[in-house]
Amino acid sequence: MLLAATVVVAITETYLRGAVEAEIAKNLKRYYNLEELPEVHVDGSPFTWRLVTGSFDSITADMKDLDTSQFASGQDRFATPLKITEMRISLDEISFSPLNVLGGQKAFSAKSGELEAHVSEASLNEFMKASGIRVHFSMGQSEVVAKATLTGQGQTFPVEGKGTFVYADNSIVFEPREIKGEGVSEQVAMNALKVVRPMPSIGGVRPTSVEIAPGELILKAEVSTFTFEPVEQETPPEVTLPTPAESVTSTSSPSPTQSPAPSKTTATPSKKSPSATKSPSKSPTATKKN
């Protein structure tokens, strides 16, 4: 009798855990427009009791091959797309209302959590090129090597600098050091290699820090909630004469200058329109921790 009860409890635990994880995975796949279901793990035991009382130890979700243009909203609809190789969302010490969940509301609050997005070196350089930035970055263990080619008076001048990325004001910033340049001054080479580039949000989450690793850039953000609810969509602004929304730090000088980038004009979105409406489908939104 006891053995039978134990088997029933085990089956129930396995089924419920799998059902919850599958539901979260389906919502993530729909929201981020993924080709494959993400891997989701909900930790808490005994699971049935945790589900009834509205508390889990943690929720983690691992996703691959994301493109910010596929789930952009608001002003990010006008941003240059960024390809993400893999991303993990992890939440710890989860709490939620079981009655609200049964009523169709699917929202989780966490004591702490983190979003971590990995961007390959190739994807970062593709993102920079699409933004009109003609600097090529190579990521090492603890430093970044930046290279560019300047032109002037029919000649080309390669420049190179070492440094690292920092994150400030929703932008990644690269300030070179150990600069090398042939036929140009150090200041001209520095101006050519210095980059301040705004980054799109990741499903409504703005990264707060950046790290480098061999061959990749890692964007991080602290998150405290994750909710599967209709997301408010901002009404696109009416633009007659679009103006550049993103610029690259540069200076004018009679010295050789960087090769001109292909012209790229993007519209600068206005603040949210009063007529903003909710999306008809349910979508998850991660919210940055205050």
Residues 6+ apart with CB under 8 A from 124: 137, 139, 216, 217
What residue type is assigned to position 29 of the chain?
K
pLDDT in tens, the chain (290 residues): 544 444 444 566 778 888 888 988 988 898 899 999 999 999 998 888 888 888 999 999 999 999 999 988 888 888 999 999 999 999 999 888 877 665 656 667 888 899 999 999 999 999 999 999 999 999 998 899 999 999 888 889 999 999 999 999 999 999 998 898 888 899 999 999 999 999 999 988 889 999 999 999 999 998 876 665 433 333 333 433 333 344 333 333 334 444 444 333 333 333 344 444 444 344 444 544 44
Report the DSSP beta bridge partners of residue 245: none
What is residue 281's predicted lDDT score, i.e. its pLDDT? 42
Q: Where are the domains of the chain?
A: 121-223+236-277
32: helix, strand or coil: helix
Q: How many CB atoms lie within 10 A of CB 5?
A: 9
Q: What is this structure's pTM? A: 0.73
Residue 68 phi/psi, 5-degree rounding, is: -60, -25
Calpha distance 202→72 (Å, rounded): 8
What is residue 226's predicted lDDT score, i.e. its pLDDT? 65
70: helix, strand or coil: helix
Report the DSSP beta bridge partners of residue 152: 155
What is residue 37's predicted lDDT score, i.e. its pLDDT? 95
List, as one string, the DSSP characters of 77-134: GGSPP-EEEEEEEEEEEEE--HHHHHTT-EEEEEEEEEEEEEEEHHHHHHHHHHTT--
